[in-house]
Every structure is written in C-alpha cells, then in structure tokens.
Structure 1
Amino acid sequence: MIKPETFAFLADLAENNNRDWFQTNKQRFNDAQENMTAFAAELIKALANTDSYVDAAIEPKKTVMRIYRDVRFSKDKTPYKTNMAIGRLTRYNIPEIGYWLQIEPGQSFIAGGYWMPSNEHLKAIRQEIDYSGSKLIRIVDAPEFKELFGEFRDQEQLKTLPKGYEADHENIRLLKLKSFIAYRDLTNEELQAEDAVKKVASLCSKIQPLNVFLNQAIN
C-alpha cells in the first residue's frame, strides 16, 4: 500500500517546493521513495503473472520516476514534481506503451495505452483501426472496460478529419483520437488499503488488451 506518510510528504512538498525545504525533509523523501519502490516490486510480481510483457526480473527501483523536474525550457522553475510515479513496467517494442501509476494527494490515477503517439505511430494505429477496427471496439466497448475507464472516444480528438479518411467512416471517432489511453482516478483511501496492489494490478489487466492492440498496430 501507499503509506499515509507518502501522501503527507507530497502535500507538504506542494506547499514548499524549494530546495531548502527539500533538503531539510530529505529523509521523508527517502522514506516515500522506499514506499514507492516496495509498491512497485509487489505490482511487478502481480502483473508478471498475467502479462507476458512484464519482466518479473526488472529492478523495481528503475520503474520509479525521478522527482526532480527538468526546468531548462520551462517558465515554471519549481525544482520538484508534486507527484511520484511508477512506469516502464513493460517491455513492448514501443516503450511509450504500458502502464503508468501516479501518486498525488487527491489526484492519483492509473493509466495505460499510448499518450500522444508520434506521427509515424499515429499513422500505423489509424491504419490498424481502418483495417481491424472491430478488434479495438471489442476492447473499448466491453461493458467492464467502459464501466472502469469511461467512453474511450471522449479523449481529445482532431478538429478536422485525419488525412486519408472520410467523415462517414464507421470508426471516424476512433480515427480522430490524438491519444489512446485508458485512465481511472484512484483515491487516497484506495491506495492506502491493504489490497491496493491487487486493485491496481486488476485495473492493469483490463488495460492489457489495449496495450497489445497498440503494440501490434505499430509492429
């Protein structure tokens, strides 16, 4: 589970996003980092039982994202992220495809799929939807998927038609998508529960078919 102390650290960091405060509270950060790494280790073990693209031998520490922001090209010069995240859990041919767990007080979530694909990958995904759209529809229109993640087509779409496709295409709303993400908010209470890893792993298992479709589309 994610400890209350981890949430408390992140809440305090959001109010004190500066290097002096961070150095004074470095042990709290280290404890939060250890909590995230332990959670990642359990999650990897759980996912590896059902997802062949998850390597059970991956080092959990490598899946926990850095808290330090790259401020070189940003107007916001605050040095630290106010969230902690676990990613890079899978070994798809396209590293952008996979799962992403973000922890932030009142704003935590689990997500999977592919956010903002490159033009080359977007073209390949659209081609797969054009040829085999029924496969994606079976995934995203499954009652359980819709109940957990909402209407897949409601993500950000192009304002114009994608090149090469007509407005009357049966899957035009899928073809106009800019991202292909399954997303679900998680409460602090859900993540602090004893079965938090089991719950997150279960949600990832429902996202897995989407990841497989996207990976196959690009390859």
Structure 2
Amino acid sequence: MDFKALLEFLRELDQNNSKEWMDKHRKTYHRHRDSFIHWLNQLNIRLGQVDPDYYPTSGKTAINRINNNLMFHPNKPVYKDHFGAGLDKAPNSGDFYIQIGIRQSLLAGGLWRPEPKRLRSVREAIDYNGEAFMEILDKPSFKKLFGSLYEDEKLLTAPKGYSKDHPYIDLLRNKTFAVEHQLTEDIITDPDFDEYIVVVYQEMIPFRRYLNKAITV
C-alpha cells in the first residue's frame, strides 16, 4: 500500500472538495480505494493470526464511505479528508477502527456514544466489576499507547440508579467508552506499519473485549 500517494491524493481532494473534481479524478480515487481494500484484507488475515477471537472482516465490509452525510451535516464538505475502516467487526460489538487522513490518523476502539440500552449494560458491568476495567486502564503499556479514555461529554452527576459516592463514579458518568492512538505520517509510511498496528491492536484487546462482553452477555 502506497500511503504517501494516498495522502497526496487526499490533500488534493481536500483542496478541491467538489463532486466535479472527484468526477474528473474518480479513476485515481478507485485505484487508491482498491489498494486500501487489498491492504485491509491482508491486515484482516494478520490480526486473525494473533487473536483467536478475531471476527474476520473483509476490506469491502470494513471500509467507510468517503462521502460525508450532508443530510444530517449540511455544513460539512462533500468528501472526508481521510480513509476510514472498521475491522474485527462482529455484530453488536465495537470494532477496531483505522483512520488514515491528512489532519488526523489514528487507531481506535471501544464504544462511541452507545445507545441507552448498551450504555446501561456497560455501566452495569462497571458497577459489578469495575476493578477489572480499572486494571485494564491502569496497565502501564496501555496508558503509554492510549493515555486515558477518550474525552467526550459526561453526565454532570451520577447516572440514574447510582450513588454519587460510587467508587467508580468517574467512569459511570461517561457517555463514550473508547480509546485512540494517534499516528504520524512517519509511522504510516514506515515499512513495518502493519506490525505496528498489530502491537496496538493486541494492547487494546482486553479493553474492547470487556466492553463487548458487557453489551452482548
């Protein structure tokens, strides 16, 4: 996968963000998209080799649309400034997200603003066994790669049914349970980028499995 060429294409698209420009360069876009899908297919195999619980996800299934949804976000540009994809995409669970873009590239996983039923399930899991979740979050290698949970909106007080003095009240107030690892262009274009992803993926496994178990059991 030629990530340098992909990033250059995304920069040109960002400077000429219109359907007219895309129509003129659609063959180039599809060439990069096909290469990205092929790369995802290879990464799909590699991750399956290191994780016995990995859910096989083809590149075509994993890749996201490059078009922004203008119906709900009319002020956004026509096209995104990145290629994004979700691997290990089992039904009713959070995936392993990959984003390669000109403003932000990252690896992420967890649950982004889950619907109320799932959010209640995560909070119930934390209430029942928050210690196990904290052990995952406090592991030095985990903190080195991800820092803390993704900063998003939180409840101003305790969720309904929980005391404000709950030992894990700071966790329970979260509306998003996700982590992310930022990527630089040097990392993305390094020949060992795939193995770098494997390291990050493996470190994220206990975190994602805890959340997925909470919303599926």
TM-score interval, normalised by the smaller of the two chains = over 0.9
Aligned to 1:17: 17
Q: Does the 8 A contact of 1:53 with 1:90 survive in 2?
A: no
Q: What is the match of residue 66 of structure 2?
A: 67
- Look up the match of 1:175: 172
Superposed displacement of residue 204, structure 1: 1.2
- Per chain length, whose mean CA-contact separation is higher, i.e. which structure has more relative contact order (CA < 8 Å, sep 6+)? 1
Structure 1: distance between partners of 2:153 and 2:209: 22
Give the conservation status (yes or no) of the 8 Å contact 2:157–2:164.
no
Q: 1:46 to 1:88 in 2, by over 3 A?
A: closer
Does the 8 A contact of 2:150 with 2:176 survive in 1?
no
CA distance in 2, matches of 1:152, 1:110: 13
Instruction: Tell me by how many angstroms 1:52 deviates.
Output: 3.2
CA contact (8 A) 1:68 1:81 kept: yes
Question: Residues 155 and 52 of structure 1: is their aligned pair in 2 closer, same or farther, counting only changes over 3 Å?
Answer: farther
2:129 is equivalent to residue 132 of structure 1: yes
1:50-92 per-position Cα deviation (integer Å, ceiling 9, x unaligned): 2234344x4322211111222123222632222111114331x
What percentage of residue pairs aligned between the two structures are identical? 29
Q: Which runs of 5+ in 2 are unaligned?
A: none
Residue 94 (structure 1) aligned to one of 92, 95, 110: 92
**Which shows bigger deviation, 132-141 or 76-85?**
76-85
Q: How does 1:125-204 map to 2 (within 5 A)?
A: 125-152=122-149, 154-204=151-201
Change (3 A) 1:42 1:153: closer
Which stretch shows the higher mean deviation, 158-167 or 13-22?
158-167
Report the TM-score when normalising by structure 2. Answer: 0.92
Q: For residues 173 and 33 of structure 1, what CA distance do their matches in structure 2 show?
A: 41
Distance in structure 2 (CA, Å) of the matches to 1:59 and 1:114: 21
Query: What secondary structure is seen at the aligned counterpart in 2 of 1:193?
Result: coil
How far 1:98 moved relative to its partner? 1.5
For structure 1, list consecutive stretches of 5 or more residues without a partner in the other structure.
Answer: none
Q: Which consecutive aligned stretches of 4+ in structure 1 deviate over 4 angstroms post-superposition?
A: none
The alignment's TM-score, normalised by the length of structure 1, stands at 0.91
Please give the per-residue CA displacement for 1:19-78, whole angstroms capped at 9, x wherever unaligned.
11111111221122122112211211111012234344x432221111122212322263
Question: Match of 1:59, as an amino acid?
Answer: S
Q: How far apart, CA to CA, are the structure 2 residues paired with 1:24 and 1:100?
A: 30
- How far residue 154 of structure 1 moved from its aligned partner, in angstroms, is 5.0
Tell me how far apart the structure 1 counterparts of residues 89 and 61 of structure 2 sit (CA, whole Å): 12
Distance 2:160 2:38 in 1: 46
| Matches of 2:198 and 2:150, distance apart in 1 | 24
Deviation at 1:213, TM superposition (A): 0.6
Give the Å deviation of 1:17.
0.8
C-alpha distance in 1 between matches for 2:98 and 2:10: 15
Partner of 2:79: 80
Q: Could you report, residue by residue, the CA deviation over 1:153-184 in whole angstroms, capped at 9, with x for unpaired residues?
A: 75542122211112221111111111111101
